[in-house]
Amino acid sequence: MSLLDVSALTKRFGGLLAVNGLDLSLAKGEMLGLIGPNGAGKTTVFNLLSGFLSPDRGEIRFGGRNVVGLKPHELCRLGMARTFQIVRPFPQLSVVDNVKVAALARHSGMAQALDSARAVVERVGLGARAEARAGGLTLADRKRLELARALATEPSLLLLDEVMAGLNATEIDAMVRLVAGINAEGISVLLIEHNMRAVMSLSHRIVVLSFGEKISSGTPREVAADRRVVEAYLGEEYVHPPQA
Amino acid sequence: MKLLILLAVAILAVLPWFAGSYLITVMIFIFFYAYLGQAWNIVGGYAGQLSAGHAAFVGIGGYAAALLSAHAGLSPWIGMWIGGALAAVLGAVIGYLGFRFGLRGFYFVLLTVAFAEICRVIALNVDAVGGALGLYITFTGNPRQFQFQDNRAYYYVALALMLLATAVVRAIERHRFGAYLTAIRQDESACEALGVDTLRVKMQAMVLSSFLTGVGGTFYAFYLFSLQPNAVFGIPLSVEIIIRPIVGGAGTVMGPILGSFILSPLAEISRTYFAQGGWNGLHLIVYGVLLIAVVLFLPQGAYPALLRLARRRPA
């Protein structure tokens, strides 16, 4: 049975159809990549799934339950956690206190939440920076912190919005290993990613969005070979070179 | 630190037996404004929701206790809780309107000011609550009526209020509620994504804050023996409530107390000093200059700056 089932999901902003009739399903334990050119509607899909926006039409079933209309904090408690493309740490709190706020979703006592937060901070490789103020972290560390906070809410589904963006090659390799490890532990992942190397190596399946519509889906290999995808990314003339 | 606090409390506890009545009066105002500042600190400091209409809660609490005492013979010792509860109801209404409909920053400030002004205009125009003349409380000197012959009794009540509110804030800071408030102040959307019901948490902060402020209204009424709509519901009182925690350090346990120990004597001394020289109103300018200085040089308040100093010295 699938963990997440999205059907006919539609969101309009004024005259712009940001997401149009999207169908999507994600099996338990799966890592699904969501890719598409800039402005394709990927982040809007995340905002719809995580309750920050409400859809105009369509259904979202999470764990067999219709979750349209639930608030972000309710979805978090149900086990859906997200990161933000533009990271949003609590800048004046330390790394571990940032994660503690998230851990409090599962542990009501401050001591247990702190223990759990420390474990997650170690897990994402921020152990040495645990007591540093979040506002002073490098971008790579802030991305790890964003991931740590989402993990600390103990999700069954993790929505990752461009966790590789802005990282250098070494940092990307580390992040890929980290995300793969998290998925291997049984947490399902929906991954928005622009870094093709990362998304191709991580995803079991990939869904491609363009102008709010699904134009392709399949294994990374299938999607890479699909000319509609190449067209969407590189323009029509790349697929049909103009005759000289 | 613990020892230091115990020592300070001990000194404050025995002070009235060595101090003159003027100093006692100044101390009463220090404690009382520290108490109001501490109550405001919960929603304005920790949660970062800038209420600029907290005078409304003082007024509601004061009027409720005074009217219940005058017309129903109810002791203000009981009336103060009813006044607090009524203030909390108003706080819930303001909070719901502001938080549910996403009024942030300036818009929330305006909403809170508007409600305080509504209260002021109502109190000015409803004769049943004294109208423009205000409410006067007959002095009986009966402790059951929250009235004392000896100024020192007010001193201890005000001190107790300040310590009580401080204990409440300290407890908040150590629990989940406090962690959530601090996080909400820094990034509300991130909190929602992490499972925090921000509407509910902010409502709780607003209700608790307005309740405590309303309780303080009883002290105001029965210490000054009069309630004037322009004074208890006016913007100046709201500002007095806010600036102490801001100067001392909003969102810290000690901020409102430190701020009150800085500002209340300053206001008092400069008021009498300048008034003697025929410079009425100059103390407000001194106040203003100090506020600007704090905003410029100690944007997080005096207490965090003191902590930094104390940490630097041994290193």
Give the chain A residue nearest B178 (alpha carbons): A101
- Nearest Cα to Cα of residue A6 among A148, A222, A233, A217: A217
Overall average pLDDT of the A49-58 stretch: 94
Cα distance from A178 to chain B (closest Cα, Å)? 20
Residue A149 predicted with pLDDT over 80? yes
Cα distance from A221 to chain B (closest Cα, Å)? 33
**What one-character-per-residue DSSP string does B122-139 give?**
HHHH-GGGTGGG-EE---
Rounded CA separation A189/A191 (Å): 6
Please report, for chain B, the start and end positions of each structural domain, with discontinuous segments joined by +: 20-312
B82 Cβ neighbours under 8 A, 6+ residues apart: B64, B65, B68, B74
Rounded CA separation A6/A60 (Å): 5
For the complex shown, is ipTM > 0.95? no
**pLDDT at position B285:** 80
Given CA atoms A211, A214, A215, A220 in this order, what sign does their dihedral have?
positive
- Give, as one character, the DSSP assignment of residue A149: H
Q: Does B187 touch chain A (CB under 8 A)?
A: yes
Mean pLDDT of chain A: 91
**pLDDT at position B315:** 45
Q: Cβ of A90 and B195 within 8 Å?
A: no
- In this structure, are strands A188-192 and A31-35 parallel, antiparallel, or unpaired? parallel
- Nearest Cα to Cα of residue B230 among B305, B297, B130: B130
Please report, for chain A, the start and end positions of each structural domain, with discontinuous segments joined by +: 1-71+188-244
Residue with the two structure tokens 């009813």: B82
Can you give the pTM of this predicted structure? Answer: 0.90
Is residue B224 classed as helix, strand or coil in its secondary structure? Answer: helix
Low-confidence ranges of chain B (pLDDT < 50): 315
A1-71+188-244 fold: Rossmann fold (3.40.50)
Chains A and B form CB pairs within 8 A to the count of 76
Residue from the list A73, A108, A150 with its beta carbon closest to the beta carbon of B176: A108
CATH 1.10.3470 is right for the domain spanning B20-312: yes
**pLDDT at position A166:** 87
Q: Cβ of B174 and A110 within 8 Å?
A: yes
Amino acid in the structure at residue A226: D
Rounded CA separation B291/B296 (Å): 9
Cα distance from A227 to chain B (closest Cα, Å)? 37
Cα distance from B182 to chain A (closest Cα, Å)? 9
Residue A242 predicted with pLDDT over 70? no
Residue with the two structure tokens 């701020």: B259
Q: Which of A43, A49, A73 to mutate to test the interface with B (most CBs of B within 10 A)?
A: A73
Token digits of residue B86: 């009524």
